[in-house]
Amino acid sequence: NTAYNPSGHFLISVIGNYGLQEPTQAQIDAIAGLMAWAVERFDVPLDRIGGHYDYAETSCPGQHLRALLEDGTFRRMVEERLGS
């Protein structure tokens, strides 16, 4: 839905409209689990965890998921999973 090259990015897609709906706890946990796996597997620094909006003008992933990225929730969850 945007025109940038995603090479070198680990993309996580979540079905839904998170401008309108809130993610479930199961979705949040799954996203954090995938992020933790990618951080460990590909040696990604935690400060590189971000959203689609960091690379292109878009409302993706919607205000409800974006809030979890911006307030550090996902980074904290990844740190907990990795024991950092």
Does residue 61 have a cis peptide bond before it, meaning omega lies within 30 degrees of 0? yes
pTM, two decimal places: 0.88
Percentage, residues of the chain above pLDDT 90:
73
Residue 58 has a pLDDT of: 85
Residue 14 pLDDT exceeds 80: yes
Q: How many CB atoms lie within 10 A of CB 39?
A: 21
pLDDT in tens, 32-79: 999 999 999 999 999 999 988 888 888 889 999 999 999 999 999 999
pLDDT band at residue 1 under the 50/70/90 scheme: low
Q: Which of 46, 21, 20, 23 is nearest to 35 (CA)?
A: 46
